Structure 1
Amino acid sequence: MTTAAVFGVVGVVLGAVMTGLFTLYGPLALERRRTRNALTRAHLDDIKRLRIASIVWIDYLEGVILDLEEGRSVDRAEFRSVIASNLERLAKHKFSRVSFDRTSLLDHLRAASRSVERDLAQLQGTQAVRVSEETYMALQRAFDARARLTPMLTGQTDSLLRRLQGQR
């Protein structure tokens, strides 16, 4: 057998091996990318739900405070139910892929809710309630925590979108 024939056989064998590897590796890489993209989209959905949940909770507390100031009736049982629902919705994110613990948002929202509930206990009939300074301060701390959360979530979102676009 000549040298050219040996190189030809070696070339064919190496070509076959490489083709086989690429045939196996290509679909595996594609599946890995699909899985990563699905996880990234789920993470983006978590961020969206966290943003919405925190805004809904703060808006609800603002609405209840306004009702108290204007003497409108506020059902305490409904208040507790809505707060429990908001807490459950937001607490899910405490253990998700979205990191927001550094803002203490959940703690501040719970404190503001407790303070509003104390003021709500004063409500009698249609008489306006003097909302305590403590309640305003607790709500402000929740606003501040929410404000600290926004750039964190924006950074996470940008990073995830770059990942989806194939950048690192």
Structure 2
Amino acid sequence: VTENMISGRAMHPGDVLKASNGKTIEVNNTDAEGRLTLADALVFAEKLGVDAIVDLATLTGACIIALGDDIAGLFTPDDNLATQLEKASQAAGEKFWRLPMEEKYFEGLKSGIADMKNTGPRPGGSITAALFLKQYVKETPWAHLDIAGPVWTDKENGYNSAGATGFGVRTLVNWVLSND
């Protein structure tokens, strides 16, 4: 769990943090704390020797701008895992759209005082967030699902009641069951 409340021990812009894999991160946006926690979680998951890693997060507003409130972003460098997740999401009735992992955009995460910054420039923000996370998975097939848009609905829509939707759970259940 990540807490970003104000205190004397809160992180500050310009702080340099060290992730569990040894990579250093310059904090340039204290509101992008979730990806810092996910980074260490991804390192931990890979150490467990799992067959694949799929993370879900309400990581970026940029994904909402790109895809709206009904569609989540799917990021992965692994075509096989993308296909598995796309089939699972179709069976679940949840909409995902695969977005590019444009390596050139990692330039925007470069830092003069650390291995990388925790956020890149505004354009391509959901892509740079996924590229940040990618730095914490070495070889295990991995996907990031940015569920910021569809995780909440203001009104009942025939599929979900108003409020939190649980978006992504149905997809993950289908994915796990299809790989059992």
> TM-score range, shorter-chain basis?
under 0.3
Give 1 or 2: higher helix fraction.
Answer: 1
Give 1 or 2: higher strand fraction.
Answer: 2
With normalisation by structure 2, the TM-score equals 0.25
Structure showing greater Rg: 1
